[in-house]
Amino acid sequence: MTSKSNPSPSEPEGNKNIVDTESETVNESVAMPMDPLAQLQADVEAARAEVAEWQDRFLRKAAEFENYRKRSEKEKADSVMLAKGSVLNEFLPIADSCERALKIFREEEGAAAGLQHYQEGVELLYRQVLDTLNRAGVVAVEAEGKQFDPHLHEALSRQETSDFKEGTIIKELQRGYLFKDKLLRPSQVVVAAHPQGKDQANE
């Protein structure tokens, strides 16, 4: 009779021992505590990164606030300048009237003696108006004899003449004024133009 051999139980037990050993090794590696120095360095780096982030945010907000402050101050200054300019502009017609009256007095050489008192009164009023404007920062725009500047002057007409260089202001019709380096009103002027007939004759 042939006897059947039973499988040896030693092989499964050996494999089980190997698996148990590997599992214990893995568990030991996971359970191993981290190096305290490495942990401290990691915490320091994280803290530095957070500080740098908050510092960057603070600098950005500070820059935004400074820009807002400067913009607000400029808008406020511009508003004040505009308000002052509007008020001072109301004084200019008074100065114009005084100038016209004084011009008439000077042209009337044989004016009656009684008009002399009116002339003196107008001159006094004119000086007071100019003093008020000057104290507020208003100055007259130079015109006659100067080259025409579209930023300061308004040409009402051009007069052909060979006595002046092309573009020279030969007459001021109404005085212009500056307020704090800003144009309050342009000067109304007559500008010299080169005679056209002379050019055609030369041709």
Of the pLDDT bands very low, low, confident and very high (cuts 50, 70, 90), residue 25 is low
- Please give the average per-residue pLDDT across 141-163, as a whole number: 93
Tokens linked to 181: 């380096």
| Model confidence at 54: pLDDT above 80 | yes
**What pLDDT is stored for residue 32 in this prediction?**
56
pLDDT band at 197 (very low <50, low <70, confident <90, very high): low
Query: What's the rounded mean pLDDT across residues 23-49?
Result: 70
77 and 46 share one domain: yes
Residue-range definition of the domain harbouring residue 84: 36-89
| 47 plus 83 within the same structural domain | yes
What is the mean predicted confidence (pLDDT) over 94-108?
Answer: 81
Q: Which one of 5-19, 78-92, 126-140, 142-156 scores highest in mean pLDDT?
A: 142-156
* Model pLDDT, residue 90: 81
Last residue of a domain, one of 136, 151, 167: 136
Q: Residue 158: which CATH number?
A: 2.30.22.10
The pLDDT assigned to 33 comes to: 59
Residues paired with residue 177 on neighbouring β-strands, in sequence order? 140, 185
Nearest alpha carbon to residue 175 among 144, 147, 149, 133:
144
Q: Determine the 3-state secondary structure of 177 from DSSP.
A: strand
Residues 132 and 147 grouped into a single domain = no
Our count of domains for the chain comes to: 3
Residue 100 CA to residue 145 CA, distance in Å, equals 20
Instruction: Please determine, for residue 165, whether its predicted confidence score (pLDDT) is greater than 60.
Output: yes
Angle 40-42-45 from CA coordinates, rounded to 5°: 110
pLDDT of 13 strictly over 60: no
Whole-structure pTM value: 0.55
Helices (H), 90-140: 92-107, 115-135
Overall average pLDDT of the 151-157 stretch: 94
Tokens, residue 45:
């780096």
Cα distance from N-terminal residue to C-terminal residue, the chain? 149
**Residue 181 in domain:** yes
Domain annotation covers residue 130: yes
Angle at the Cα of 33 from the Cα atoms of 30 and 39, rounded to 5 degrees = 120
DSSP, res 146 = S
Count of residues in the chain? 203
Is 16 a domain residue?
no
